[in-house]
Every structure is written in structure tokens, then in C-alpha cells.
Structure 1
Amino acid sequence: MIKQYLSYALGAFGHDAFYATLNTYFAIFVTSALFVGKGAAAEAGIVTTMVVVIRLIEIAFDPMIGGMVDNTNTKVGKFKPWILAGAIVSSVGIILMFSSLFGLADSNTSIYFLVFGIVFVIMDIFYSFKDIAFWSMLPALSVDSKTRNKFGTIGRFGSTLGSQGVIMVITPLVVFFSQTFSGSHGDTQTRAGWLGFAIVIGSVSLLGALATYFGTKEQTSLIRENTEQTRFRDVFKVIGENDQLMWLAFSYLLFALSYVVTNSLLIYYFRYVIGNAGAYTLVGAITAVLGILSVPLFPAIVSKITRKGVYIGGIAMMLIGYVLFMLSGTNTVMVYIADAIFFFPYPMIFLAALMTITDSVEYGQYKNGTRNESVTLSVRPLIDKLAGAFSTGIVVFAAVHSGMTGNTKPSDITAHGMFIFHSFMFYMPMILLVVAALIYQFKITLSEKKHAEIVRELEKKLETEKDEETAEAK
């Protein structure tokens, strides 16, 4: 069992390192290294718009991707083939994204936009297969809530280290590769530096996928056998009829969007408000340590105050972090403290949402009569990608309209520009978090106790049906 926990954690580590790079740092690469000089803002806007539009269109196909995964049947299970194939293609894709596409960004921007669109579509589709297969494997590893909590916790532990580890290494790696490949000096960050960084992240993602592929095993049970082939025309029906899944999805979307926007703008805060981009590296170290402390606490805390208490209480703590952010100004130490309070509950809120979505598999099975693991679990990656797509557009819009692009100095930012920046980094996310908490409080009824009752009822029902079929056969 330890081997499976470790293998799943390593897969999550590489997966979230990839996710953080794609959703947080691609916008920075576009605005600070890929396009510079005259017309840079417009070109960055085109790329950003393409990312948002493509993702919004592709997101509509995620439940169908979940259906394809559910309908897969191979000797190694239905999840692993997609995890491995998705990792290989998406790793190549992210390396191409963090490049000028063989100089096209300089020589012919029109062709660059065309090729970029093709690369991004292919990358995003295969990333979706991997994302959905990886996280929808969770209910297949066990139907027991306590064991699921352990897999979810160790998975989140790995993903937290992966996403926060990127914060620690991004500046040193980009600078190192810039000096190695471009001969730059000091803290200068070049395209070649970003490309080297992307190669590292792509490799880490692939290695993590290989660990999950060879180190985990799906469990068989009477409940999991109650599965039928999912028709594509039914995938949205499966989701729509699961009211608990729908309400959780709405709440989690608002939460995820709030977090990703603020987290993505934080590097801009250090570069253009504080004026010390290098100080951002310590944020990764702080949040990585907090993640190491926060994630293992989840099983103990959730057993005392339930998932609802973790979700709503965690959001309240994040709001306190926002208030401290707004009071910090250019005080670096205060920003570190604010970010620590803001980040600490995040992994546990994620786990509370993930466990609720996972338990909604049996809820949907009990309500509708059939089990749909990947279709149900596709909702969580769908929401994260939706939040990532919107946040990419929001971050670039906020950066451009705040004047935080290129080599702009903190003293160049106007009061109006700072207000715009604060509105997107603090005010809007705070409102969304409050709404997310209210939805969870009043609309989510699928508690741990309720799920245990559903599992018992399902097992009793399926055992009775099996006994009846056996008796008829005789």
C-alpha cells in the first residue's frame, strides 16, 4: 500500500508542477519575454485570447473525455493508458509553448499564432485526458472514505510540493538557463531561459506519470462492477442529474478562480509593487513548508469538524490573509505573513472539495442506478481548467491595464494602475470566496455520514440483486 501511496503522490507532484507552470507562469513568459517592444501588448493579448477561447471550447468536451476514459478497458485498467499518453504529448506541448516556435514569433507573427493555436489545442486535449484519468482514478483505488482520504491526502501532498516547488525554482532556473544558453548576466531572463525551465517541468511531469503507471493498482469490488458503457449523449445528463456535484462545482469554480488569480498576480506584486522579483522565490519555500504541514493535518481536522467545517473555515482564514495583503504595502515580511495565512488552508479546502466530488460518484450511482467514475471526476479538472483559462485572461488584462509589463519600475505605476491591480488581485477574489462559502453551506448535503449510508445501501442492494440472479441461474 505504501508503494501505491508514494506512486500516486509522485504522479500528483509532476502533474501539479505542470499545471502551475501552464496556468501561472505562461502569462508572465508571454508578457515579459516572448513579446517585447512596440506592439507587444497587442500580441500578448492575441495569444491570451486564443488560450482563453480554446480552453473554453475544449472544456465542453471534458465530460466526453471522461466518458471515453470510463469506456476504456485494457489489461492495465482504464486510467493508466491515458495518464501515460497524456503525459508524453502534453510534456512536448508545453516545451513548444515556452518557445518562439522556431523563430516564428519574430519572423512571422501570423504564422506563429496559427501554429501556436494548433500546438495548444493538441497539448490541452492530451493534458485533459491525463488530468481526468489521474484524478478520476481516486474512487477506483478504494470505495472506503477513510482510504480515499489517505490517497487524496497523499496525492494533494505531492501536488502541493509540485506546485509550490515551481515557485521556488522558477526564478533560479530561468536565470540559470538564461546565463547558460544566452550568456546573460545578473537576473536577466531570456527566452532560452524560459525554454530550459519548460524542459525541466515537462520531464518532471512525464516521470511522475510513469511512477503512477507502474506503481498503482485499481481495486475491484461489487460496487465498481456496477458500471455500464457511457454513451456520449448521456455524459452531460450524468452530471446534470447529480445535484450535489453541480452545486459543489459552482462553489469550487468561484473558489478556484479566486485563488488562481491572486496566486498568479503575486509575482507581479513582487516585481512591480515591491520592486524585488528575487524575493518571490521565498514564497515557494514558505508555501511548500506550509503544504507539508497543512495536507497531513486534513484527515485529523476533517474527522473533528467535517468537510464542511474545513471548506468554510478555510475560506474564512483566506479572507483574513486578503486583509493582511491589503495592509502590507511594500513591506516584504508582511506580504510573506499574509501569503502564509492565505495559502495554509488552500490544500485542505481542495481536499474537502475533491473528497465531496469523489463521494458524489456513489451518490450518483445510488440516485441514477449506474456508476460513472471518470465522467463525475472530470468535473474537477474541468473547473480547474476553466479557472485557469479565465485567470490567464484576467492576469494579462490586469497587468497590461495596470502598466505592469516589460521593464516597468514600481515608481512608474500610477495610482489608477495600482487600483486596477488591487481590484483584480484582492477585491474581486474576496467577493467570489464569500459566495463560494455560502453555496457550500446551504446547498451541499453530501456529508461523510451520508456517503457511508449510501455505500451501505448500495452494497446491500447489489448483493441482493446478485443473489437473485444466482438463484434464477440455478
Structure 2
Amino acid sequence: MGNLQYQTSRFERLSYGGFFLGQNIIYTIQFQFLTYFYVEYVGLTLGHTTVMLLIAKLWDAFNDPIMGAIVDKCNFKQGKYLPWLKFVTYFVPLTLFFVFININATYNVKLIYAYISYIVWGMVYTVSDAPLFSLSTVMTDEIYERDKLISYGRLAAAIAAISSAVFMSIKANLGWTATAGIYCAFAFIVMFPLQFTAKERVKYERSSDITFKKVFQFLFKNKYLMIYYLGFMAISSTNTLQTMAVYFANSNLGDETMVTVIMGTTVLPVIIIAPFLPALIKGFGKKRITVVSSIATIILCVVQYYAGYDSLVVFLAIASVRVVFMQLPLLIYGMFTADCIEYGAYINGERTEGIAFSIQTFITKLSGAICGTLCLQLLYAFGYVEQAAVQSSETLQGIWIIVSLVPIIGYGIMLIVMAFYKLDEQEVERMIKVNCVHRIL
């Protein structure tokens, strides 16, 4: 596999995964429950919540490329990426805790507080993503080791998703703010060790006078990064299950705490398969996994819709299989970015990990904004009534369509996009050897 001194230790991989776990716990609970919190608990209207989240997420998303360029420009004595991660370890959990506070105030003040607290959290969270993913490229220069690192991160993300399954059950006993506080505290604990354990081993030749203009020029020359993230944005923008799970549980199944069963059953298979990602990639390649998963997702979406949810067992069985194929492309997207960074460095002669991974974050947040807005607008179109005890049959059918059929659009687009993506693992391995000029412990 190469020189052992450039392989990461198991403890490093665990702490790297731990940071991902905490970061994704933070991201998941706001992504999955925040709209429901604002509409059903704080009392904001569906319209105001839609506009507020869209504005905040778009503002947050467009900050990402700027943050990525700053990361590429800055070099600290303590390391290129670890100082950023030390900062966010403390402030990402803290700022999200304040988001989940329902202040005792008038409606307009509550809306203003929601805008300010959510935007502040989003800007702090922006600092975390590009340095975290970029760190994997300097901890090791071996593609299998790098994929192993990122797979630890994606496994941690899957665990974060399943941890969110019990959020509503805890909330039923402790309330929104206390439950969010528990999650934020745990996130901080598992994020904390990375700053002390990770090592930036690999150093690359970098221009000392690279400008912001050049950073963005290099970005847009990276055609495979642009191609891949067009498809990724499509599947992320239509991945409706997490956003709609609590609405589906409350309205269609009649019990909001059923989201625990839904998320637990659908995320557990992902956790089981995640540790095998490096072996799957080694055997089949990332592109083939993405293509096969997209085809399977489209088929299973149709099967899910026609099978219905009258039988909870049948619904959960199909959903658990469908989610595995839906999530596989979302588990390996960071590995695609890392490969595209090597391609960009190869053709440009300059490494710009920060801006490349910030595009990953930008697309993730932009597609999250699109998905959230799409779901809320479709709810409105299907006649959803805020805080109503019972929804109409048309609304219930609409919720089911959003949950089961909407993802077909995104995965169909990904299939088309993958026809134009030509990088494979062997080619990337060759580029890494050319790009890596020297290494240090």
C-alpha cells in the first residue's frame, strides 16, 4: 500500500470520524427538524419560514466559495486546516443551541431572532466543512488511505442520522431546547479530540502569492468537479425523506414520534454498509457504484409508491432498501471531490483544496435550501394546514408523493451526468504521484 509512515493510525481515523459525527449531528437535527420547530412550536407561518430558510441558506451557501478561497490563501504555524477546526469545535454546537430557543416575544421579534440566530449559525458552520474535508488530503497521500479516512467520516454521518431518530422521542419528555442542548453537548465531546490527534503529514508545493482571482479561475477549469456536482445537486435537492419524515409521521401515520421508527429503520442499513465502502470502491469504482445506485433508486421509488404505507412493515422494508441505494452516492461524494482536486492540481499546477471542498459545501447547502423550499412549497400546493390536527386526504396523498416519487427526478439527472464523468481511481492514483512533491512527518 506504500510507505507505512504515511498511513493514518486507527486513533486518527476514529477522531476524524468523531469530528464528522459531531458536525453531522449538528447539521442533521437542523436540517430534519428546524422547519417543524419553527412552524409547529415557535408558531411562524409556513410562508415566512420558507422565505427565511431560503434566504438564510442561500446567504450561507454563497459564503462557502469565499471561505474556501480564504482557506487556500491562509497558512498558520499550527497547520493549514487544524486551526480552523479548533475554532468550530466550540462555536458550531454553541450557535445551534441558540437556534432552538423559542424566545418569549411578539411574532415579529421571534421572526427576527430566527433570522439572526440561524444566519449566525450557518456562517460559523461554513468555517468547518472545507478544512475538515481538506484535512484528509494532507493526512495521507495514498488514495486508499484517503478513501478510508473519508469513509470513516461518512460512516459517522450515517450514525449521526440514526441518532436523530430519537430526537422527537426525547423532545416529548424534555422539550425542544433541552433536547437540542443534549445533542449539541454530545457533538462537542466527539469533535474535541481531532485538534490534538490529527497530523498534517503531506506538504505540497504552493504558490505564496496566489490571488483570489486565480483560485476561482482554477476552480472553473476543473471540468470534472463541475460535472459531478451538477449531478450531486440534483440528487440532494430531491432527497426528500429527511425533510418530510416528521410531517409524514405526524400526518400520514398519526404520531410524530414514529419518525424514530422510520429514521432508525432506514438509516441502520446504511450504517451496516458504510464500513465496506473502501472495499466496494476498490472492487467496483465510485462511478459504477453511483450509476448502479441511481438506477436502483429510481426503480425502488416506483415500487415504494405503489406498495403504499397501509402496511407499516412493508413500507419500512422497502424504504430501508431504497435508502441504502439513495445514500450510497451521498456517502462517497467527498471522495469524488478529493479525486477532482488531484485532477485540478494536475492540469493547473496549483492545489486549491479549500475552494474545491467549499464548492462541495456550497452545493450541499444550496441543494438543502432547494430541497427544503421544494418540500414546503409542495406541502402548500397540496393544501397542508399548519398546526392542524388532521390533514385532508389530498394533502396526505401529496405528502406521500413527495416522500416516495420526487427523488426520481434527481437520480435520473445523476445518471445523465455520470455519462460525462471520465475520472477513475487508476488515473487519479497516477495524478497523485505527479502532484505530490514532498512529504514530511
Q: Secondary structure at the match of 1:112?
A: helix
Q: Distance in 1 between matches of 2:327 and 2:409?
A: 20
Partner in structure 2 of residue 245 of structure 1: 225
Q: Distance in 2 between matches of 1:283 and 1:247?
A: 33
CA contact (8 A) 2:20 2:154 kept: yes
CA contact (8 A) 1:239 1:376 kept: yes
Partner in structure 2 of residue 69 of structure 1: 71
What is the CA deviation profile of residues 415-434 of structure 1, one whole-angstrom value per residue up to 9, with x for unaligned ones? Answer: 2x244334433333212211
CA contact (8 A) 2:162 2:268 kept: no
Cα RMSD (Å): 2.2
Which of 306, 327, 337 matches 2:317?
337
Structure 2 vs 1, CA of residues 446 and 413 (structure 1 numbering), >3 Å: closer, same or farther?
A: same
Q: List runs of 5+ in structure 1 lacking aligned partners.
A: 178-192, 464-474
CA contact (8 A) 1:84 1:130 kept: no
Q: Distance in 2 between matches of 1:268 and 1:230?
A: 48
Q: Secondary structure at the match of 2:110?
A: helix
Partner in structure 2 of residue 189 of structure 1: none
Identity across matched positions, percent = 18
Q: Distance in 2 between matches of 1:423 and 1:339?
A: 14
CA-CA distance at 1:26 after TM superposition: 0.3
CA contact (8 A) 1:4 1:216 kept: yes
CA-CA distance at 1:404 after TM superposition: 4.2
Partner in structure 2 of residue 56 of structure 1: 58
CA contact (8 A) 2:50 2:373 kept: yes
Q: Distance in 1 between matches of 2:77 and 2:211?
A: 22
CA contact (8 A) 2:93 2:185 kept: yes
CA contact (8 A) 1:362 1:455 kept: yes
After superposition, residues 141-156 of structure 1 pair within 5 angstroms as 141-156=139-154
State the AA in 2 paired with 1:344: V
State the AA in 2 paired with 1:60: F
CA contact (8 A) 1:357 1:380 kept: yes
CA-CA distance at 1:271 after TM superposition: 1.6
Partner in structure 2 of residue 92 of structure 1: 94
Partner in structure 2 of residue 184 of structure 1: none
Q: Distance in 1 between matches of 2:17 and 2:355?
A: 22
State the AA in 2 paired with 1:317: A
What is the CA deviation profile of residues 141-174 of structure 1, one whole-angstrom value per residue up to 9, with x for unaligned ones? Answer: 222110011101111111110122111x212210
CA contact (8 A) 2:267 2:323 kept: no
State the AA in 1 paired with 2:405: Y
What is the CA deviation profile of residues 373-414 of structure 1, one whole-angstrom value per residue up to 9, with x for unaligned ones? Answer: 11111111111111211222223333344344555355x423
CA contact (8 A) 2:99 2:121 kept: no
Which of 185, 199, 207 matches 1:217?
199
Q: Distance in 2 between matches of 1:227 and 1:298?
A: 35
What is the CA deviation profile of residues 203-239 of structure 1, one whole-angstrom value per residue up to 9, with x for unaligned ones? Answer: 2232232122122111124xx2335454233333222
CA-CA distance at 1:366 after TM superposition: 0.8
Q: Distance in 1 between matches of 2:108 and 2:39?
A: 18
CA contact (8 A) 2:63 2:123 kept: no
CA-CA distance at 1:457 after TM superposition: 3.2
1:171 aligns with 2:159: no
Partner in structure 1 of residue 405 of structure 2: 427
Partner in structure 1 of residue 328 of structure 2: 348
Q: State the TM-score, normalized to the length of structure 1.
A: 0.85
Q: Distance in 2 between matches of 1:433 and 1:176?
A: 38
Q: Secondary structure at the match of 2:406?
A: helix
Partner in structure 2 of residue 8 of structure 1: 16
Query: Which is bigger in relative contact order (C-alpha 8 A, separation at least 6)?
Result: 2
Q: Secondary structure at the match of 1:446?
A: coil
Q: Distance in 2 between matches of 1:443 and 1:450?
A: 16
Q: List runs of 5+ in structure 2 lacking aligned partners.
A: 1-8
Q: Distance in 1 between matches of 2:129 and 2:378?
A: 28
CA-CA distance at 1:258 after TM superposition: 2.0
Partner in structure 1 of residue 182 of structure 2: 200
Partner in structure 2 of residue 111 of structure 1: 109
1:21 aligns with 2:29: yes
After superposition, residues 384-463 of structure 1 pair within 5 angstroms as 384-409=364-389, 412-415=391-394, 417-440=395-418, 442-459=419-436, 462=437
Which of 360, 368, 376 matches 2:356?
376
Structure 2 vs 1, CA of residues 242 and 228 (structure 1 numbering), >3 Å: closer, same or farther?
A: farther
CA contact (8 A) 2:141 2:202 kept: no
State the AA in 1 paired with 2:314: M
Structure 2 vs 1, CA of residues 404 and 213 (structure 1 numbering), >3 Å: closer, same or farther?
A: farther
Aligned residues: 430
CA contact (8 A) 1:157 1:295 kept: yes
* Greater C-alpha Rg: 1
Q: Secondary structure at the match of 2:192?
A: helix
Q: Distance in 2 between matches of 1:252 and 1:152?
A: 17
CA contact (8 A) 1:294 1:345 kept: no
What is the CA deviation profile of residues 78-107 of structure 1, one whole-angstrom value per residue up to 9, with x for unaligned ones? Answer: 22222232243332222222122x312xxx
Structure 2 vs 1, CA of residues 32 and 401 (structure 1 numbering), >3 Å: closer, same or farther?
A: farther
CA-CA distance at 1:140 after TM superposition: 1.7
Q: Distance in 1 between matches of 2:257 and 2:47?
A: 26
CA contact (8 A) 1:324 1:334 kept: no
Q: Secondary structure at the match of 1:330?
A: coil
